[in-house]
Chains A and B, each alone.
Chain A
């Protein structure tokens, strides 16, 4: 009697799907960390280049008083 062999192609498909979803999760996680890093940059940018009273701005304030 011929022994029935399992269909390995179906199992390999499942394996591929598992590996694929794990890879997607890793990519997504790295994407989130990149996004957080980007937000962090935005905040630091504001710290560095936010409002600061310059001669130009002082001249503007003086023009409002006239």
Chain B
């Protein structure tokens, strides 16, 4: 059984935000105003050693969001994806405090202080509803995994910086890249 993971090759990321746009477009049916499931973070912007990394839910093995959720709305699929059920989410925001990547997002269009249902990257795997149903599209966006595809953000990455898929395959590809570069500090940063 595969474990699905994202990996961002920071040597290739050019901060084009194509992944953010691709995600937003693919899951538009589920995303309320102001929600971006993915974002690009740049460090040392404009200075020597500048690096960008595309960040969303990392579908942690021991997910802190899952551990702290008082409503138990998270579940893990057999592919290692951390998904959640919006019907049981109470919008408390504990998951946001617990997540080291800031992945959980909350609607910004409501009244001040009202968080609403949490939204986050689903690895384009939908939710607990029936595959490709109207409810699934409305609550979670597309379900490309069921179609035999991978997340839109990774598939559309122009520089092939954002890798997604079976962790064994993705890490092997990244290892090949690092070996090919052959330079000191060629992997990160």
Are A and B a genuine interacting pair, yes or no?
Answer: yes
Asked if A50 and B165 make an inter-chain contact with CB atoms under 8 angstroms apart, the answer reads no
The smallest C-beta distance from A35 to any residue of chain B, in angstroms, reads 9
The stretch of B23-31, B61-69, B147-155 in contact with A is B147-155
**B109 CB contacts on chain A under 8 angstroms:** none
**B79 CB contacts on chain A under 8 angstroms:** 46, 50-51
Asked if A61 and B145 make an inter-chain contact with CB atoms under 8 angstroms apart, the answer reads no
Q: How many residues of B contact A (CB 8 A)?
A: 24
Asked if A47 and B130 make an inter-chain contact with CB atoms under 8 angstroms apart, the answer reads no
The smallest C-beta distance from B119 to any residue of chain A, in angstroms, reads 18
Interface range, A side:
20 to 34
Residue A65 CB within 8 A of the other chain? yes
**A64 CB contacts on chain B under 8 angstroms:** 160, 163, 173
**A60 CB contacts on chain B under 8 angstroms:** 150, 154-155, 165
Which residues of A21-65 are within 8 A (CB) of B?
38-39, 41-42, 45-47, 49-54, 56-57, 60-61, 63-65
Asked if A45 and B131 make an inter-chain contact with CB atoms under 8 angstroms apart, the answer reads yes
**B148 CB contacts on chain A under 8 angstroms:** 52, 54, 56-57
Residue B15 CB within 8 A of the other chain? no
Asked if A61 and B149 make an inter-chain contact with CB atoms under 8 angstroms apart, the answer reads no
Complex Cα distance A56/B147, Å?
Answer: 10
Residue pairs across A and B with Cβ atoms less than 8 A apart, 12 shown, are: A41-B130, A46-B79, A49-B145, A50-B77, A53-B2, A53-B166, A60-B154, A60-B155, A61-B165, A61-B169, A64-B160, A64-B173
Q: Which residue of A lies closest to B77 (CB)?
A: A46
Interface centre among A47, A54, A64 (most CB of B within 10 A): A64
Complex Cα distance A58/B154, Å?
Answer: 14
**B131 CB contacts on chain A under 8 angstroms:** 45, 49
**B166 CB contacts on chain A under 8 angstroms:** 51, 53
Complex Cα distance A39/B130, Å?
Answer: 11
Asked if A65 and B149 make an inter-chain contact with CB atoms under 8 angstroms apart, the answer reads no
Interface centre among A49, A51, A60, A66 (most CB of B within 10 A): A51
